């Protein structure tokens, strides 16, 4: 073997680990993100020193005003929490019922009409862009103050979330059973009943429980605009400076949501 056939290590072609220009793009992106954070901090005056200065104020507010809670106010809080739970339960149930057929229409492997499929997807995207607090304001103006407006707001809000999650699950199923049913002459209802539903039922139940958790928490906020639930009495007690009642509401709301989350998480773990 001659010396010409021996390739020296220094003469070997080196292949970069990252594409050409990647470091420049990454550095530019990081610089832009950091610049946006700095700009946002100055625009909102969200500086760490303000948080540090506010910690003693928050401490004395909790010790002097919120403590001790007024436990005699507990029966009123319990009734409002029950209304909050009912709002979340009804809205989630309605959303699950209506989201299932819409999710089939929003799945490309079931709805093979591209125009109708895109229309349903855009409609669901529109539903998800509207915050639940805005929906609550609209429904309060439509049907008045109370739990009904909260149920309707949470229903519309949940419908967009649940239908999107289930439709993506449908698009990710094993296509084998679906193709076998279609090859044997099965119609779309038979495809859904025997080819799709057995594959998505655990995920559908898990997503429904997840949306229920979201609705329980969201219904607390909706009460501030008159959409029923625990939020109404929380706003009332805050406006009247009854901080001992406010402490009872906060404690019971925290305890209730924690218990619901724990039960829901355990059930979803078993389903998955």
Q: Where are the domains of the chain?
A: 20-65, 69-271
218, 208 contact by CB (below 8 A): no
Fold type of domain 69-271: MetI-like fold (1.10.3720)
Round the average pLDDT of the chain to a whole number and report it.
Answer: 82
Confidence of residue 271 (pLDDT cuts 50, 70, 90): low
Helices (H), 106-196: 114-129, 132-143, 147-171, 175-183, 188-190
Number of H helices, E strands in the chain: 11, 0
pLDDT score at 14: 62
C-alpha torsion angle, residues 103, 107, 109, 115 (rounded to 10)? 120
Distance separating alpha carbons of residues 76 and 133, to the nearest angstrom = 24
| Residue-wise pLDDT tens digits, 98-146 | 998 888 888 888 887 888 888 988 888 888 888 888 888 888 888 888 8
Distance separating alpha carbons of residues 125 and 122, to the nearest angstrom = 5
Distance separating alpha carbons of residues 96 and 217, to the nearest angstrom = 18
pLDDT score at 140: 87
Q: Which two tokens stand for residue 271?
A: 């389903």
The pTM of the full predicted model, rounded to 2 decimals, is 0.75
| Residue 145 DSSP SS3 | coil
């Amino acid at each position: 073997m001659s010396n010409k056939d021996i390739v020296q290590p220094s003469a070997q072609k080196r292949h970069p680990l990252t594409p050409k220009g990647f470091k420049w793009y990454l550095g530019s992106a990081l610089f832009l993100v950091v610049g946006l954070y700095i700009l946002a901090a100055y625009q909102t005056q969200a500086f760490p020193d303000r948080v540090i200065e506010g910690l003693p104020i928050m401490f004395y507010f909790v010790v002097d005003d919120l403590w001790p809670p007024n436990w005699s106010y507990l029966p009123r809080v319990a009734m409002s929490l029950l209304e909050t739970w009912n709002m979340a339960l009804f809205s989630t149930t309605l959303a699950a019922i209506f989201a299932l057929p819409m999710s089939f229409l929003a799945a490309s492997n079931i709805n093979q009409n591209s125009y109708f499929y895109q229309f349903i997807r855009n409609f669901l995207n529109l539903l998800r862009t509207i915050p639940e607090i805005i929906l609550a304001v609209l429904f309060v103006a439509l049907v008045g103050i109370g739990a009904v407006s909260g149920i309707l707001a949470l229903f519309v809000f949940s419908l967009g979330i649940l239908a999107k999650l289930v439709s993506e699950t449908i698009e990710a199923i094993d296509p084998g059973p679906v193709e076998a049913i279609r090859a044997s002459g099965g119609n779309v209802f038979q495809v859904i009943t025997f080819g799709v539903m057995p594959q998505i039922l655990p995920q559908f139940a898990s997503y429904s429980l997840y949306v229920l958790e979201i609705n329980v928490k969201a219904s607390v906020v909706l009460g501030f605009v008159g959409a029923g639930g625990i939020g109404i009495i929380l706003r009332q007690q805050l406006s009247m400076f009854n901080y001992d009642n406010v402490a009872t509401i906060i404690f019971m709301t925290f305890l209730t949501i924690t218990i619901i989350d724990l039960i829901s998480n355990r059930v979803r773990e078993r389903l998955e």
